[in-house]
Amino acid sequence: MTQAPVKFRPSAFGEATLRRDSPFRYTCNACNRCCHNYRIQVNPYEVLSLSRHLGITTTAFIARHLSDGPYLKRRSDGSCGFLGANGCGVHPARPLVCRLYPLGRHISSTDEERFSHMRPHPETAGEYGLNGTIGDYLAAQGALPYIEAADKYMALFRRLYAVLCESGAASAEHVMNIISMGKSGTSSAKVRLEHILDPDKAIDVYFGQRATESRRNPKDAMALHIKAMLRWLSSYLKGELK
C-alpha cells in the first residue's frame, strides 16, 4: 500500500473510465481534510437516512441542516456542518458522495455506470492500493443501498421531467430547477414538487398518520415517498390539482 500524497491515476483525474472490477483500494485515516470546502448535495433518501439517524423529521432536517436547496450547511471555515472534534458526527448515515470518496460515480444516458478518481487533498492521510476492486470498496463503505436509492430517485426525476415537460405542465427549466434545488413558487403544481426533497411532508399529504410505522425505516419511507410523488403526478395530470 502506498502512503499519500498519491498519484493513483494522475493523468486521468475526473475521467469516468473505471468500472466496479477495476483495481482499487483506499483506507481513510480520518484526517478530515476531505470534509472541507465541498458542497455536498443530498437526495431524498439521504435526507431520510440522516434525519432518522438524528431522530427528527425530514422537514426539520431540511430547516436545520440544508441551505441553498439540497446542500448540507457548511461553517464559515468551509468545514461540513456535521464535522466535530472526533470526526464526522453522522458517519453511520453519511451521504453517498462521502462513502464514495475519493471516487466519483457517473451514469450515462444509457444507464452505463462508470467511476472516476477525484484529485485528493495534497496533504491527505488516506492510503491507496490496488489489491482490491472498486466493487469491494463500495461494499465495505455501505454504499450499495445508497446507490440503489440514488438510481430509484433518478428514475423518478426523469419521469417527472419527461411527463411534465411533454404535457406542457411546466417548462424544462422550471422542472430542473425544482428537482435540483427543491425550491418553487406558489402554485399547487410547484408546491407539490417541493415535496421531492421532503419525504415526510409528502407522506403526510398522501398517507397521513397511518404510515407512521412504515416511514421509520429509510428504505420503507423511500418507497412511500416515491409512491406519493407518483400519486401527485397522476392527480396533477388529471386536472385534479389547480
**172 vs 225, more confident:** 225
Strands 71-72, 83-84: pairing is unpaired
Q: Which residue has the cell 402554485?
A: 187
Q: What percent of the chain has pLDDT over 70?
A: 81
Which pLDDT value is given to residue 173?
A: 56
Q: Work out the angle at residue 223's Cα, subtended by the Cα atoms of residues 221 and 224, and round it to the nearest 5 degrees.
A: 65
pLDDT at 153 over 80: yes
Q: Are 206 and 231 in contact (CB under 8 A)?
A: yes
Query: pLDDT tens digit string along 64-98?
Result: 999 988 999 999 999 999 999 999 999 999 999 99
Mean pLDDT over the full length of the chain: 84
The pair phi, psi for residue 3, each rounded to 5°, is: -75, 135
Give the single-character DSSP code of 72: E
Q: Which residue has the cell 499519500?
A: 4
pLDDT at 184 over 90: no
Q: Please give the average per-residue pLDDT across 11-16, as a whole number.
A: 72
Burial class (CB in 10 A: 0-12, 13-18, 19+), 102: buried
Show me where the domains of the chain are located: 2-39+74-142, 146-237
Q: What is the pTM of this model?
A: 0.86
**If DSSP codes are grouped into helix, strand and coil, which group holds residue 83?**
strand
